[in-house]
Amino acid sequence: MIVRHIQDENLKSRDKLPSIDFFRRHFGCGTTTVAAAFSELRDEGVLTIRDKIGAFVLDQSVAGHAGRVIGISVFTSLASAMSHIYIVALQQELNQRGCIAKLFFSQKPPEEGRFEFSCDDFPGLVRSVKEASIDALIHFGKFDRRSMKFLSAHGIPELFCGFLADKKANCCVCDFGRILESMFDCDGVRSAKRPFAFIPPSATDILSAIFTEKSGDSTSICVTPRTRNDRFSSEIASRFASMSASKRPDMLIFFDDFIASAVLMNLALMISEDKMPGAAILMNTELTIAYPPMKQLYTWRLNIHEFAELSAEKFTAALRAGETNVGSVYYEPVYSDLSFRR
């Protein structure tokens, strides 16, 4: 942030920086933190510090402190609320670390069943890589092999962020597969006789396989719409309500809390409280969403700002160290039992 201040104020060699107290108040951090940053920049040759006088710019363009530009490619503007919040939070976290975020959006609507992308799908991305106007790339849709070779050939470090792990790639993920497995580790979910899973389209194959293995049932799965769809929620709630108690699902598994709330609230209007199924939900703590009182309600709480902070910190730390391999980094949601007990 101090380097960004130097750039924003267009300070040159021999220009004096504001005091430590100025940066402490401006950035909302401690005196020790600012002093440590000054010392690091002195050791890197960016600043010179004169006792009782202050800090002066020595070389504002030292390699490694040029305010990296990190591209962020988003494969659709129709992403879920969870994804949109994460993108905003990630930009904030990168800015806090002195980086500039540059967004690239795919202009084409996502094709059904297609979840691998090309750099050509994002207007301006290929040109930015060739012109070296971005220093690294965070991507939400996985790139095809040709695109990965293109990024590598131009020396662009990359990190995949999202909700499905890729053991072959650099990634920071809140992994739906691991979450579904942990849901079945919960006694209330594991003991359900007729579990039913609502699965996002991007994770259909992986989550279907895990659900079938854990439940022994390959049919009680529903692929959810890409975006909020009130008609879908109402129709499936009506379908469950019309079933006899002996055939109705007794545990509903959700990875989208908008859909979870809509289905459960509709269902609560159609059947009595004692006949409501239980629910296991990946819950976004950034949004306030209502649920009916339920005898069994298990949540895996995702703090998106914490997830974005983890992603930004791991990636920028690797860049500072000159590393291109971040490996696989996982954000683990916090389990809570919110079951209603009289």
User: For the chain, what percent of residues have pLDDT higher than 70?
Assistant: 93
Domains in the chain, CATH or no CATH each: 2-57 (1.10.10.10), 69-174+305-333 (3.40.50.2300), 176-303 (3.40.50.2300)
Question: What is the reported pLDDT for 114?
Answer: 58
At residue 294, the 3 state secondary structure works out as coil
Is the predicted pLDDT of residue 316 greater than 70, yes or no? yes
Of the candidates 332, 326, 331, the residue with the CA atom closest to the CA atom of residue 310:
331
Pick the range with the lowest mean pLDDT from 114-123, 186-195, 235-244.
Answer: 114-123
Mind spelling out the 3-state secondary structure of 175-213? CHHHHHHHHHHCHHHHCCCCEEEEECHHHHHHHHHHHHH
Please state, in angstroms and rounded to a whole number, the distance separating the CA atoms of residues 282 and 151: 33
Beta carbons of 260 and 291 less than 8 angstroms apart? yes
Residues in the chain, total: 342
At residue 114, the 3 state secondary structure works out as coil
User: For the chain, what percent of residues have pLDDT higher than 90?
Assistant: 58
Mean pLDDT of all residues in 76-105? 83
As a whole number of Å, the end-to-end CA separation of the chain is 52
Measuring CA to CA, how many Å separate 156 from each of 137, 170, 238?
7, 13, 50
Please state, in angstroms and rounded to a whole number, the distance separating the CA atoms of residues 277 and 254: 13
Mean pLDDT of all residues in 304-309? 95
The number of C-alpha atoms within 13 Å of 49 and in the hemisphere containing its C-beta is: 14
Question: What is the reported pLDDT for 85?
Answer: 87
pLDDT: which is higher, 234 or 2: 234
Question: What is the reported pLDDT for 186?
Answer: 96
Question: What is the reported pLDDT for 63?
Answer: 47
Give the model confidence (pLDDT) of 163-176 as tens digits.
Answer: 888 777 789 999 99
Question: What is the reported pLDDT for 62?
Answer: 55
Is the predicted pLDDT of residue 306 greater than 50, yes or no? yes
Give the model confidence (pLDDT) of 129-157 as tens digits.
Answer: 999 889 899 998 888 999 999 999 999 99
Question: What is the reported pLDDT for 115?
Answer: 65
At residue 7, the 3 state secondary structure works out as helix
Please state, in angstroms and rounded to a whole number, the distance separating the CA atoms of residues 181 and 164: 13
Is the predicted pLDDT of residue 317 greater than 90, yes or no? no
Mean pLDDT of all residues in 271-300? 92
Mean per-residue pLDDT over the chain, rounded:
88
Question: What is the reported pLDDT for 268?
Answer: 95
Mean pLDDT of all residues in 6-11? 79
CB atoms near residue 107 (< 10 Å): 10
Pick the range with the lowest mean pLDDT from 106-110, 116-120, 204-208, 239-243.
Answer: 106-110
Is the predicted pLDDT of residue 23 greater than 50, yes or no? yes
CA angle (40 as vertex; 34, 41 as ends), nearest 5: 90
- Give the pLDDT band (50/70/90) at residue 32: very high
Is the predicted pLDDT of residue 225 greater than 60, yes or no? yes
C-alpha 306: how far from its chain's center?
Answer: 9
- Give the pLDDT band (50/70/90) at residue 109: low
Question: What is the reported pLDDT for 128?
Answer: 94
pLDDT: which is higher, 321 or 313: 313
CB atoms near residue 229 (< 10 Å): 14
